[in-house]
């Protein structure tokens, strides 16, 4: 039986075992998936032995960058962000990937991603989403709080160097104007337990063609609820979480899944979060 695991610290309550167990079942595979809580100071001693015993690993904070030194090579996706969230062990060769970007890309309409895109936030996942939008030819507006100005300027420069043809405007999150094809929330505003919070006004939301919220707890944020009340297509973070896991299985074992299978896993995962993650 092949073994797989998620490493991170602290891990706490994770959806990964449920999602990956379901994906293995759908593919007709017998596999073991465990959570391995490894503190940063123990990474050098514990990770090498773990890597020898598994066919694949998922990686979460704070190990997405430190794991790189233990790998033999990096996929282009990992090189793009200098960040690894998926490791494949094929015949002893360890390759690092970033499947977060694939999960994101499969969660949002491609046409909208190449249009006028409003991104709330610029750190962590926001950086990835901004770069993916730039790769797809978007006209980007980055809405931030004043404390994030330096981070936003750095990201703007990075996009300018890699994609000089892309327009990026930085605005205060309280001063957003205009219409957008896609609104992306990459901030924690609206996350459990502060579920009554919304990162932008209803007026801003109503001026957007599509909405994607990276938050998956709650599964329906106030942002998504407002968008849906205006008839706007809105997708929550559970879609990205499941789809980045799907890509990991494609990498590890070459498995493939129908839209119906994936949608059912997303639906069941939403039900678990709504029931147990409060």
Catalytic positions are 64
**173 and 145 Cβ atoms separated by less than 8 Å:** yes
Q: In sequence order, what E strands does the chain have? A: 2-8, 31-37, 56-59, 73-74, 86-90, 93-97, 116-120, 139-144, 168-172, 180-185, 208-213, 233-235
Using DSSP's 3-state secondary structure scheme, residue 275 falls into helix
**DSSP calls for 109-143:** -HHHHTSEEEEE--STHHHHHHHHHHHTT-EEEEE
Distances in whole angstroms, Cα of residue 121 to Cα of each of 57, 236, 278: 28, 16, 25
Question: 83: which 2 tokens?
Answer: 């960040």
Nearest-Å Rg of the Cα atoms of the chain is: 19
Map tokens 């559970």 to a residue: 238
Kindly state the DSSP code that residue 91 receives in the 8-state scheme: T
């Amino acid at each position: 039986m092949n073994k797989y695991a998620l490493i991170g610290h602290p891990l706490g309550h994770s959806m990964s075992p449920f999602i990956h167990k379901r994906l293995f079942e759908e593919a007709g595979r017998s596999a073991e998936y465990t959570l391995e809580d490894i503190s940063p100071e123990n990474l050098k001693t514990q990770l090498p032995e773990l890597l020898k015993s598994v066919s694949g690993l998922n990686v979460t904070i704070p190990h997405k960058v430190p794991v790189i030194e233990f790998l033999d090579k990096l996929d282009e996706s990992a090189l793009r962000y200098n960040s690894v969230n998926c490791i494949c062990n094929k015949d002893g060769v360890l390759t690092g990937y970033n499947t977060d970007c694939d999960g994101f890309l499969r969660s949002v309409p491609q046409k909208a991603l190449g249009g006028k895109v409003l991104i709330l936030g610029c750190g962590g996942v926001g950086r990835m989403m901004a770069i993916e939008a730039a790769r797809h030819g978007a006209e980007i507006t980055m809405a931030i709080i004043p404390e994030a100005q330096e981070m936003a300027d750095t990201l703007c420069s990075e996009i300018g160097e890699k994609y000089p043809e892309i327009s990026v405007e930085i605005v205060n999150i309280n001063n957003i104007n205009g219409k957008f094809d896609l609104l992306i929330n990459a901030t924690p505003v609206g996350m459990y337990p502060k579920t009554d919070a919304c990162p932008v006004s209803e007026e801003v939301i109503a001026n957007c063609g599509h909405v994607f919220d990276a938050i998956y707890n709650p599964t329906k944020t106030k942002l998504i609820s407002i968008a849906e009340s205006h008839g706007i297509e809105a997708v929550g973070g559970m879609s990205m979480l499941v789809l980045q896991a799907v890509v990991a299985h494609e990498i590890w074992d070459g498995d493939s899944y129908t839209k119906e299978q994936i949608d059912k896993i997303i639906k069941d995962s939403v039900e678990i979060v709504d029931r147990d993650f409060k």
